[in-house]
Structures are given as structure tokens and as C-alpha cells.
Amino acid sequence: MSSPTKNIEFYLEPSDNARLSSLCGPFDENIKQIERRIGVEVTHRDNWFKVTGQAVQVKAAMDILKTLYVDTAPVRGEIKEIEPDNVHLAITESKCLEQDSPSVWDKEVYIKTRRGVIKPRNQNQSQYVANILMHDICFGVGPAGTGKTYLAVAAAVDALERQEIRRILLTRPAVEAGEKLGFLPGDLTQKIDPYLRPLYDALFEMLGFEKVERLIEKNVIEVAPLAYMRGRTLNDAFIILDESQNTTAEQMKMFLTRIGFNSKAVITGDITQIDLPRGARSGLRHAIDVLGDVDEISFNFFKSHDVVRHPVVARIVEAYEKKEEAERKEKAAKELARHNAAKSD
């Protein structure tokens, strides 16, 4: 028996046609996204809204609409445009799509930078941020779009601005993603910049382009390929190793043993996107096996439902996960059959 439907009527105040237009989006696309994702019906006229559906979804949709309307408030006279990704994130934060009752998680865990407060979008992100703050070494493992690198950079910026550390060091292995790019023109910095661009982008968003450039000139922020870490001891630093699935076991050990006094390291990666040569073992996989029982090291494992990009990204990740799981089961069945056949012979 289906749950009875419920109606909620409310007004969005103060009434402002420009803000309402931003909230609804072109041709009411934002409203349609909420209806489609949550399973409700939304009707509106000017600042009057009516939501129809099951009680929990109706309440969630109303809260999302009110939250997004607050976000349209003018800043320096300009009204913020509500984009589809803003709607997606608001829906994700509401947790209304989770089948089970959401467990209680600490929404007060957040990272503060001069550009604003960065809050976790879901339970796994909240635990990840808490682990970064509480542990000297933290691993964030999971698919693209789960905020692993972005939150790590935000935590590093926060620590630098509070003068808990003296510098930020961002590194990643310079491994091509299944392509042979050949000779790259320019000096060394220009050659490695394409590999480190995601880290630069996060820094620019949180600190601004000019400040990042100044801090790089002063060597307060250092961005370098992993190969440059050998032989160094890093004190009073926040070190982020990105794309760590493309390290070898030897490189991972080398990196982890660089960490000095009053330093913190965050290692991020996705074990489903390894670009190492065939037969080479991923340093991230190896570290999970070797260091899983070390109390001082935390591991956070993200899943497809933690993706905070376009909703289709989560479905893409889920599809690949199902395919890989089916292939693993098929391979295991074939090996078992071969083993049984060998025993019978």
C-alpha cells in the first residue's frame, strides 16, 4: 500500500522576480530536476509554491527550495544564478534519496578559508574531514567526483591560514592516463603543470590566482612531481599526494617516510583507475593492505553514492563497478572450475 500524498503550500520571502527566476532556472529546469530526482510535483505562481507527494519527500523539496532561494540573495548587487549542480548538491545534502534512515553525522565539521566555509556534503565527506583534522596521515580512496582532493586542499589552506603549518606541498605521480603524449615543450615547470592542474584549480578557487602565485614564488606552496620527494624530510608541512593509485609500492613507501615533525599527509586515489604498466602493483593498493591496522593512520573509502558532481557521474561509476564485479565473479568461477578439473585428473 502506497503512502498517502501530502500537500505543502508556502511563500518564498522576500518576493523578488529576479531571484525567483534564478531559482527556477531557464524554462523551470531547476524545478523539473527537483521533481524528477525527489519524486514530487511542484507548482508555483510568483513567490507562492505548492509541493505534492509523500510526506518525507515533500518536506525535503520544500527545504531545498527555501535553501536555494536563500542562496540567490544578492552579493554586491548581483543575484547568484542557481545552476543544475547547485540543485544536485542541495538534493545530496538533504539526504532524502537515501533508502535507509540517515545516520547522525556531525554537520558542524567544516573547513574555513578566506573565500568562505567549505562544508561536507555527506556522511563520508564529514568523516573524511574529521579524520584529516585528527590524524597525521589520512587516506581518501574512491571514485572521481567524491571531493577527495578538493577537501584535502581546503584543509591544507585552512591549516596554513591558521599558521599551524608553514607550507603546503602538493604532489602526484606524472603518469599518463593510458596515452603517450610524447615530447612536451617548455621548461620543467611547464612540462609537469598539466599533471598538477587539478591541484592548482582547487588552490585558485580558495585563495585566488594572485595570492597563489605569490605563495608559490615564496615557496610557501610547492607543487612538484612525486619523483622530487626522494631524499627530503618535510617538517611543518601539509603534504597532499594526489592520484596515488599510480604510485608503485616503492614510491608510496618513499613518500610516507618523507613526513617529518608537525607535518600532515593526505593521500588520495581511485584504485579503479590505475594507469601503471601492466604487471606493476599499485602503491595505493599495497598501502591499504600493509597499513590497514596502523591506528595512527585513517582510511576513508568513498562509494558511487558519495559523488557530488553531475548525477550521471554516480550512475557511470555504479555501472563500471557492477561490470567489474561480474568479471571478478566470472574469473573466480573459471579458476575454481580449472582447480576442480585438475584435482579430478
Q: At CB < 8 A and 24+ separation, what contacts does 187-195 make?
A: 192/224, 192/225, 195/225
Within a domain: 325:
no
Same domain, 136 and 167: yes
Same domain, 187 and 232: yes
Query: Looking at residue 217, which CATH number applies to its domain?
Result: 3.40.50.300
Residue 174 carries which DSSP code?
-
Instruction: Give 3's pLDDT tier (boundaries 50, 70, 90).
Output: low
Same domain, 181 and 42: no
Within a domain: 321:
no
Same domain, 165 and 249: yes
Same domain, 84 and 26: yes
pLDDT tens readout for residues 87-117:
877 887 776 655 443 443 444 566 776 667 7
Within a domain: 340:
no
Within a domain: 155:
yes
Same domain, 60 and 145: no
For residues 140 and 192, the answer to whether their CB atoms sit within 8 Å is: no
Same domain, 37 and 181: no
Within a domain: 315:
no
Residue 315 above 80 pLDDT?
Answer: no
pLDDT tens readout for residues 15-26:
899 999 999 998
Query: Looking at residue 80, which CATH number applies to its domain?
Result: 3.30.1370.10
pLDDT tens readout for residues 236-288:
899 999 989 989 999 999 999 888 888 899 999 998 888 888 778 899 999 99
Using DSSP's 3-state secondary structure scheme, residue 25 falls into coil
Beta strands 116-118; 167-172: pairing state:
unpaired
Domain end among 35, 69, 94: 94
For residue 48, what pLDDT is reported?
94
Domain end among 94, 124, 152: 94
How far, in Å, CA of 174 to CA of 199, rounded?
13
Instruction: Give the residue-averaged pLDDT of 180-203.
Output: 66
For residue 314, what pLDDT is reported?
60
Q: Distance of alpha carbon 108 from its chain centroid, rounded? A: 18
Domain end among 61, 94, 127: 94
Within a domain: 314:
no
Instruction: Give the residue-averaged pLDDT of 136-144.
Output: 90
Same domain, 291 and 230: yes
Within a domain: 268:
yes
Highest mean pLDDT among 135-144, 183-192, 331-340: 135-144
Same domain, 88 and 118: no
For residue 261, what pLDDT is reported?
84
- The CA–CA distances, whole Å, from 282 to 26, 147, 176, 239, 253 equal 46, 21, 15, 20, 12
Within a domain: 9:
yes
Q: Distance of alpha carbon 296 from its chain centroid, rounded? A: 23
For residue 68, what pLDDT is reported?
93
Range of the domain at 18: 5-94
Per the structure, how many domains does the chain have?
2
Say what the pTM is: 0.61
Output phi, psi for 9, to 5 deg. -115, 140
For residues 41 and 35, the answer to whether their CB atoms sit within 8 Å is: yes
